[in-house]
């Protein structure tokens, strides 16, 4: 007998606890409704560095140090560091791991990386391999646009369904015990491809993966949407949000209309420059900075008792896109609750 | 109490078993001393596909199907797939996961990915989350050279300490029980940077990471080189091999001269065109196709009873290299034994 549930899920016998989080963002995110929830807002996209890539690294490290400071824990006490990011060869995570000096697992699931880190970190703890790990992820609008689409200096006009990569980083410290939301279940996604080829329309590409993982989570665990105070996807934006709600209803028969939200919709909702964000936020940092700031705090205050957190990743590569291939996607989910 | 040993290592209470492996290689590797040990050799580098990237994907899938066929297990019976590769955004692993339809964890440690997969797969099994997983990795000379250095069509003259990326893929199926070598310990590396900046001299860059992980393994477990029939690093080549032996002696006081070998040295040793390989083989496939073919078979025949397998990764990114940064490296190790 294992802790496996159905094909994609498992439970944690001794649910690991997120005892601390850290979030930092760039200057554009100062306009977000969550601005008061972030630990730090950098005044410029370069964060005082000579390149956007170095700025992103500074942000990942800043998020990690914020999380560690809150519980007065130095890097030497963290047993493993699990991190990934969108830049080629994951340089943000690797150079951060170099500075932190913590034994390192590199993980990659594009914007699903935040939840992949929570799952693998919880597996290490509940499996009895260690007591304290840190999971982190990041993204940066300027470094991501340059790598995946066009350098921002070109000033390319963006399509109405495009999303804006969130600049920032989030880190979570997961412990075998302590105060905070516990991770009770994980649902591991499979790679899904519904034929989307447009690297500017990520929400539509990712929605089938989100719908698949949410439906699978309910099937595997026997739960339904009403078991959650909040079902939160990572960075689908307005286009992907609507599609996910529709597909979960059509394929799974579950009604998400009461308690479903998306970090990509939430993070920039109501900001004064809608032409900059179109369909919403995206990037690894999108779900990380929303969940680890506002949602985490609301869970700690017990305003939210049980949350299903579903991070979605578009496994976009300029190489395969230019070779005419579709964009496969994946979504991973964790159930969190306050006990 | 956890299963942790020292700072970097842990043991498996019920050591998972590698019950099957699959290895495929490209045409150049037909000259390798291990040619009779590989499951399949493709006659051309394109493997009948229209791009080197698609050829690499075909190879990863072929290695996975070889491993599954040997134990007559379809993909539906494999609970999780853990894979990574060298191409941007890990398209080989992701498109392979798409075809296989197995819940997927993307992992990345450059050429250390083979062992990262064995560790995370074993953690999932020994932690009680599932019973059967598959770990895979791949690399391809032409796709890697194009992405990291120069397209092979340019005919750039290679430096004497350069290594040749092995074309091929390796897969391992890890089970909670069965016949085969068991994984008893894991040592998770930290990111190391000794100041190497030259993307053509990977062996020298990776040797400090290998030396650090090997020394740490002995410190954490209380073992010494004589506890192993073979200590095998992944793809250091002749330059890195010598440096590793020297540094393990100097920093750890351990003598590796009796039983230490390197897959990057072994795979092309004695081939008739030494100008093509210079310091040896490299790439994710290097350690995977050597370990999962010849070494795995020798373990199953009990010619080797206990092996320390240390895969080394140069976390090389053209982006950070062009920005003048060093190449950080990492090495992960697993102890395997026949019982």
In this structure, are A153 and A263 located in the same domain?
no
Backbone angles phi, psi at B106, to 5 degrees: -80, 130
Residue B168, helix vs strand vs coil: strand
Q: Rounded to the nearest 5 degrees, what angle is found at the Cα of A262, between the Cα atoms of A256 and A263?
A: 160
Which chain B residue lies closest to A115 (C-alpha atoms)? Answer: B105
Say which residues have a Cβ less than 8 Å from residue B69's Cβ, sequence separation at least 6: B22
Task: Output the pTM of the full model.
Answer: 0.97
Same domain? For B157 and B249 the reply is no
Query: What DSSP character marks residue A41?
Result: E
Residue A13 and residue A156 in one domain: yes
pLDDT under 50 in chain A at which residues? none
The per-residue pLDDT for B221 is 98
Q: What is the reported pLDDT for A154?
A: 77
Per-residue pLDDT reduced to its tens digit, B20-76: 999 999 999 999 999 999 999 999 999 999 999 999 999 999 999 999 999 999 999
A74 and B CB contact within 8 Å: no
Q: In terms of domains, do A119 and A191 share one?
A: no
pLDDT of residue B278: 83
- Token pair of B21 as six digits: 């492996």
Across chain B, mean pLDDT equals 94
Q: Are residues A27 and A84 in the same domain?
A: yes
pLDDT in tens, A245-281: 999 999 999 999 999 999 999 999 988 777 778 889 9
Same domain for B40 and B56, yes or no, is yes
pLDDT at res. A206? 92
Closest Cβ–Cβ partner in B3, B91, B127 for A123: B127
- Cβ–Cβ gap A316/B101 under 8 Å: no
Disruptive mutation site among A9, A90, A129 for chain B (greatest number of B CBs within 10 Å): A129
Residues 119-158 of A with CB under 8 A from B: 119-120, 123-124, 126-131, 147
CA distance A135 to A173: 7
State how far the Cα of A4 lies from the Cα of A185, in Å rounded to an integer.
10
Residues of B in contact with A94 (CB under 8 A): 191, 315, 328, 330
Q: Provide the 10 A C-beta neighbour count for residue A50.
A: 10
> What residues in A contact B320, CB-CB < 8 Å?
53, 89, 91, 95
pLDDT tens sequence across B125-184: 999 999 999 999 999 999 998 888 878 877 777 777 788 999 999 999 999 999 999 999
Q: Is the pLDDT of residue B89 over 80?
A: yes
Residue B69 belongs to what domain range?
4-175
Q: Mark yes or no for CB contact B188/A3 under 8 Å.
A: no
Whether residues B104 and A318 touch (CB distance < 8 A) is answered with no
pLDDT of residue A146: 83
What DSSP character marks residue A284? H
pLDDT score, position B205: 87
Which of A136, A159, A175 corresponds to the end of one domain?
A175
Instruction: Confirm if B200 and B161 have CB atoms less than 8 A apart.
Output: yes
Which H helix or E strand runs over A19?
strand A17-25
Between chains, do A84 and B188 touch, taking CB under 8 Å as contact?
no
Question: Quick one: CA torsion of B21, B22, B26, B28, rounded to 10 degrees?
Answer: 40
Q: Which residue of A has its CA nearest to B57?
A: A320
Task: Compare B162 and B251 and report the one with higher pLDDT.
Answer: B251
Do B194 and B325 reside in the same domain of the chain?
yes
Cβ within 8 Å, pair A105-B120? yes
Residues of A in contact with B319 (CB under 8 A): 53, 87-89, 91, 147
pLDDT of residue B198: 77
pLDDT at A320: 87
**Is the CB of A102 inside 8 Å of chain B's CB atoms?**
yes
Which are the contacts of A138, defined by CB distance < 8 A and separation ≥ 6? A56, A57, A59, A60, A63, A85, A92, A93, A168, A169, A170, A284, A285, A288
Measured between alpha carbons, how far is B179 from B156 in angstroms, rounded to an integer? 47
The answer on A141 and A106 residing in a single domain is yes
- A 319-338: CB under 8 A from B: 319-320, 323, 325, 328, 330
pLDDT the model gives residue B333 = 98
pLDDT beyond 80 at B112: yes
Compute CA distances B9 → A128, B27, B54, B194, B218, whole Å: 12, 38, 37, 23, 10
Give the number of domains in chain A: 2
Tell me what the mean pLDDT of segment B245-268 comes to.
96
Of B130, B147, B319, the CB nearest to A53: B319
Among the partner residues B109, B123, B193, nearest to A106 by beta-carbon distance: B109
Same domain for B170 and B235, yes or no, is no
Last residue of a domain, one of B175, B194, B213: B175
Interface probe for B, chosen from A3, A80, A94, A139 (most Cβ of B below 10 Å), is A94
Write out pLDDT tens, residues B222-239.
999 999 999 999 999 999
DSSP letter at B133 equals E
Tokens linked to A331:
């979504």
For residue B103, list chain A residues with Cβ-Cβ distance below 8 A.
7-8, 188-190
Which of A128, A160, A175 is at the close of a domain? Answer: A175
pLDDT digits 0-9 by tens, A13-25: 999 999 999 999 9
Which are the contacts of A157, defined by CB distance < 8 A and separation ≥ 6? none
Cα–Cα distance, B231 to B100 (Å, whole number): 33
DSSP per-residue string spanning B169-234: EEEEEEESSSSS-EEEEEE----B--S---TT-HHHHHHHHHHHHHHHHHHHH---GGG-SEEEES
* CATH code, domain with B77: 3.40.47.40
The reply to whether residue A80 touches residue B319, judged by beta carbons under 8 angstroms, is no
Residues B150 and B244 in one domain: no
Which B residues in the span 8-47 are in contact with A, Cβ-Cβ below 8 Å?
8, 10, 13
Q: Are residues A250 and A327 in the same domain?
A: yes
Q: Do A103 and B53 touch (CB under 8 A)?
A: no
| Pairing mode, strands A306-314 and A329-337 | antiparallel
**A107–B89 C-beta distance less than 8 A:** no
| Whole-number pLDDT of residue A78 | 98
For residue A214, the model assigns a pLDDT of 98
B226 lies in the same domain as B152 = no
């Amino acid at each position: 007998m294992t802790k496996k549930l159905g094909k994609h899920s498992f439970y944690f016998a001794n649910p690991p606890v997120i005892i601390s989080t850290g979030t930092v963002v760039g200057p554009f995110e100062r306009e977000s409704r969550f601005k008061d929830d972030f630990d730090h807002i950098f005044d410029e996209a370069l964060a005082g560095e000579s390149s956007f890539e170095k700025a992103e690294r500074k942000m990942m490290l800043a998020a990690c140090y914020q999380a560690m400071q809150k519980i007065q824990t130095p890097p030497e006490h963290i047993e493993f560091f699990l991190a990934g990011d969108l830049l080629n060869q994951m340089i943000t995570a690797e150079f951060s791991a170099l500075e932190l000096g913590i034994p390192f697992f590199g993980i990659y699931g594009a914007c699903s990386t935040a939840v992949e880190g929570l799952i693998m970190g919880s597996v290490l703890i509940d499996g009895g391999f260690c007591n304290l790990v840190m999971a982190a992820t990041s993204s940066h609008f300027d470094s991501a646009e340059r790598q995946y689409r066009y350098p921002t200096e070109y000033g390319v006009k963006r399509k109405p369904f495009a999303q804006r990569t969130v600049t920032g980083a989030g880190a979570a410290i997961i412990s075998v015990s302590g105060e905070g939301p516990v991770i009770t279940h994980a649902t591991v996604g499979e790679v899904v491809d519904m034929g989307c080829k447009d690297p500017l329309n990520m929400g539509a590409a990712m929605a089938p993966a989100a719908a698949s993982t949410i439906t699978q989570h309910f099937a595997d665990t026997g739960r339904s949407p009403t078991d959650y105070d909040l079902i939160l996807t990572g960075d689908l934006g307005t286009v992907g949000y609507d599609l996910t709600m529709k597909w979960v209803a059509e394929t799974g028969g579950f009604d998400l209309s009461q308690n479903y939200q998306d970090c990509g919709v939430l993070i920039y909702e109501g900001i004064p420059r809608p032409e900059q964000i179109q369909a919403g936020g995206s990037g690894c940092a999108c779900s990380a900075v929303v969940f680890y700031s506002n949602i985490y705090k609301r869970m700690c205050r017990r305003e939210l008792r049980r949350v299903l957190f579903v991070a979605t990743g578009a496994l976009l590569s300029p190489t395969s896109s230019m070779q005419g291939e579709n964009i496969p996607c994946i979504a991973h989910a964790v159930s969190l609750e306050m006990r």
